[in-house]
Amino acid sequence: MAERKFINPEGMVRPGSYTPVVATRGGRTLYVAGQVAQNEQGELVGAGDLAAQAEQVYKNLGIALQSAGATFNDLVKITVYVVAMKPEHRDLMGKVRARHVSQDNPPASTLVGVQALAKPEYLVEVEAIAVTD
């Protein structure tokens, strides 16, 4: 049985939208490769639109998790890469993420601004780690 402990250490600000430390024991660990805004046919979804691409990315992440018998509730860590990130992108990405990840026990999370991703049309990529039974 997978055990997940979401820790908000004393002496640190409690962020609310993510958990600073997640400890796990047992279960299966899933490493999900970075997901980008492609549909099932490999076509770009949301050209030039960060919000639309983010929605597709999280849709793909959900499909990837489901294929291994997991859900968004099993996430323990996500890393989000945003091309040419601006301060307003943080709120946008947070709103999209909040529609998918647990609000009670959000995963540890890192948001990184990058110059580019694998293809110039990609604006966002999300990789994840999940622990499930």
| Cα torsion through 51, 33, 60, 93, rounded to 10 | -20
**Per-residue model confidence as pLDDT tens digits over 50-91:** 999 999 999 999 999 999 999 999 999 999 999 999 999 999
Q: How many domains does the chain have?
A: 1
How far, CA to CA in Å, does 127 sit from each of 11, 79, 82? 29, 5, 12
CATH number for the domain harbouring residue 96: 3.30.1330.40
**Per-residue model confidence as pLDDT tens digits over 14-39:** 888 899 999 999 999 999 999 999 99
State the CB neighbour count (10 A cutoff) for residue 71. Answer: 13
Read off the pTM: 0.93
Question: For residue 96, what pLDDT is reported?
Answer: 96
Domain limits for position 81 = 3-132
